Structure 1
């Protein structure tokens, strides 16, 4: 997890103390360099979300693009990811964007069902 994200999450103590995020849906996506620990980045973020009592929503293997091994790309059952170039030269592929879109639609659909 980036230092900036850790700092942001560390500033949510007031929300934790008041229980403001308890029961809210949470899902995580990330961007890392090659060997940057995509899965570890997501699961380490889940720790803070769990302390808030949030309902963590992974995507599993429902996004069919996760089964495509014809090219190097991000994407995990924990959440959408992309492999970034250190110089910004690599942008998310269409498959990675599709997985991210699926994740957003999935979380939004669950929110509607839970609040409906």
Structure 2
């Protein structure tokens, strides 16, 4: 029984974060096929839009490491969860920012 619990504790973050990654990749693939990926007119706005998902992963990793330093959660567990949740939040930020209208000044 203890072995099964350890295996579940080890594999659960990988399964959940893998599910998040598959969800985001399939949604982006669907948007690409429909031709509805976010496009901005200015180059700097497009660079920001394209980098939201990687920034989300980096911020998720940093928050996870800080969380493991200041709490009793293990570092390996937070390294698995942090970038995955940051990937999902980066995708949501991408969706919100791609729909936002640009202000021309």
What TM-score does the superposition give when structure 2 sets the normalisation length? 0.30
What TM-score does the superposition give when structure 1 sets the normalisation length? 0.28
Q: Which has the higher contact order (CA 8 A, sep 6+)?
A: 2
Higher strand share: 1
Higher helix share: 2
